[in-house]
Amino acid sequence: MSDLHERVLDWYAENARELPWRAPDATPWGVMVSEFMLQQTPVARVLPVYERWLEAWPRPADLAAVSTGEAVRAWGRLGYPRRALRLHGAATGIVERHGGEVPSSYDDLLALPGIGDYTAAAIASFAFGRRHVVLDTNVRRVLGRAVAGVEFPATAVTRAERDLATGLLPDADAVAATWAVATMELGAVVCTAAAPRCGACPVADLCAWRAAGYPAYDGPPRRGQTYAGTDRQCRGRLLAVLRDSDGPVHRSTLEQAWSPAGQRDRCLDWLVDDGLVARLSADTFALP
């Protein structure tokens, strides 16, 4: 084991945040729920929703037994509500094909809706102690800086990146799993995107990016996320109206929530197509 590994593992042992999905009594289902919620969403916003979610649906079968609308409502304002639909679908698949137990293999996990390479590896690693390369944005940034010497990784995962991460993965399953969560944690709280806290970094003196004098990012412009006026904002606004209503909502109520009308109507149809909204009649809508 290299200095890099020992430093990161020791740092994690001392500095890991206590999060409910890392608690000794966390179940694979709890880990899975957390991974869905944490996709593109900060920990602080996930925590309260996670607690309520597991209280309501402590097992996959509990979620699979309710309507998708209940899942969408409970998702609240976490964002990207299709994740709620996919988590519900994944729970259903677990009940139908895995006897109600979250599968432990990467391939079985990957086959479930809403689970891609990262999430499959993360669940297999964190919930079952399997050895997997867990390449999320944090790990990519940490390895990119510490080893490759660049401020930010490429837009998409490159072969070189995956090879690097594979080469650094400890041999033993349990150590590999801890390495995965430790490198993620380092990226989340120390080696952050905007203002890295190099003074608190256990591998600062090994860091290639630091040694090179913190060269600025040199690559294609990183895509900004415009939001005001987009379909995303429109969809979010419409769904919020339905989420905040107890029963069906008349079209006239939705019409007050957004203009222009053309975009609103198109987004409403789209939400229905996505399964996020149910059309009860020509002019009434509700959560599915």
Chain positions 16 to 35 lying near DNA, rule: CB under 7 A, are: 19, 21-22, 34-35
Chain positions 162 to 221 lying near DNA, rule: CB under 7 A, are: 184-185, 187-188, 192-195
Whose Cβ is closer to DNA: residue 112's or residue 168's? Answer: 112
Angstrom distance (rounded) from CA 143 to CA 47 = 27
Phi-psi category of 27—alpha, beta or left, where left has phi over 0 and alpha has psi -120 to 50?
beta
Whose Cβ is closer to DNA: residue 40's or residue 259's? Answer: 40
- Is residue 160 close enough to count as binding DNA by CB under 7 A? no
Q: Check if 6 is active-site.
A: no
Task: Tell me the window of 7-15, 132-140, 171-179, 250-258 that interacts with DNA (CB under 7 A).
Answer: 132-140
Residue 182 CB, shortest distance to DNA, in Å, is: 11
Considering only CA atoms, give the Rg of the chain. 21
Residue 280 CB, shortest distance to DNA, in Å, is: 21
Residue 82 CB, shortest distance to DNA, in Å, is: 5
Q: Which of 6, 14, 18, 35 is catalytic?
A: 35
HEC states along 99-141? CCCCCCCHHHHHCCCCCCHHHHHHHHHHHHCCCCCCCCHHHHH
Tell me if the bond preceding 153 is cis, omega within 30° of 0. Answer: no
Q: What does the block give as tokens for 14?
A: 């001392």
On the 0-12 / 13-18 / 19+ scale of CB atoms within 10 A, 111 is: middle
Angstrom distance (rounded) from CA 233 to CA 54 = 28
Whose Cβ is closer to DNA: residue 25's or residue 171's? Answer: 25
Task: Tell me the window of 5-13, 57-65, 79-87, 200-208 that interacts with DNA (CB under 7 A).
Answer: 79-87
Q: How many residues does the chain have?
A: 288
| Residues binding DNA (CB under 7 A) | 19, 21-22, 34-35, 38-45, 77-82, 86, 113-120, 122, 136-138, 155-156, 184-185, 187-188, 192-195, 222-225, 227, 230-233, 235-237, 239-240, 276
